[in-house]
Amino acid sequence: MSCLTGKSIVLTGGGAGIGFGILRQCIAAGAEVTVFDVNPEHAARVGAEGGHFVQLDVGDPLALQSAAQQISKCDGLVNNAGITIQKPLSHLTLADMELLWAVNQRAVLLLCQALAPKMAEGGAIVNVASNHAKASAAGYEAYAGTKGAIVAMTRALAWSLGPQGIRVNALAPGLTMTETVQRAADATPGLSDTFDAWHASGTPASVDEIGKVAVYLLSDASAALTGSEIIADHGMSARLGALT
């Protein structure tokens, strides 16, 4: 697959988890990828895949805008960086809310604002949301809110940037077998079977499967899509009733 050959992609949070799967698949598709990631320990693995690593906390607006100014060419942007905070509503603090908003929501809008002017016609933006924007659970109020906001922002951005020839879509994964999820499944008897039962396919998505969807949304193969939300969760959020 070489559908991104010659393309320059900026990817946030590409050093681990779903972001690392997106990085691998973008590289495999021929793209040059610059990764904005907060963890310096991820630099080596990003470099080993062929990506360019920039240490950056996307929750810091001045640092984010400064890093964006250093990007000379941008054909595609994947806003993947995000954090999850799950706790009872009564224990949710203002600091929790502000951190989720800064990283999951504000950074997406700021980076779209900063990099869209550098994109030529045919550019594409993928905003990574979550199936929590559609089906959530107790304790995820603030997190789900930021992911729902990403989907709503994506619709508006598609119209703002459409005249410039830029497409904007939301990619909403569900439970995905990241390193963290795999460790939890390995450490808790029966949890892996529970995870499998939540999915129509009998298994959660892999990070590389999500990466391939991101590549599709960045490529000309998805030229008819903008302002769309693509739910990639192996049917998890399509189930009627509570997951048991």
As beta bridge partners, residue 172 has 231
Active site residue 140: no
The Cα–Cα gap between 67 and 86 comes to 30
Ordered DSSP codes for the chain = --TTTT-EEEEESTTSHHHHHHHHHHHHTT-EEEEEES-GGGHHHHHHHT-EEEE--TT-HHHHHHHHHT----SEEEE---------GGG--HHHHHHHIIIIIIHHHHHHHHHGGGPPTT-EEEEE--GGGTS--TT-HHHHHHHHHHHHHHHHHHHHHGGGT-EEEEEEE-SB--HHHHHHHHHSTTHHHHHHHTSTTSSPBPHHHHHHHHHHHHSGGGTT--S-EEEESTTGGGSSS---
Residues 53, 143, 195, 216: which is the catalytic one?
Answer: 143
Q: Are 166 and 119 in contact (CB under 8 A)?
A: yes
Task: Give the count of beta carbons closer than 10 Å to the beta carbon of residue 89.
Answer: 10
Task: Give the active site residues.
Answer: 143
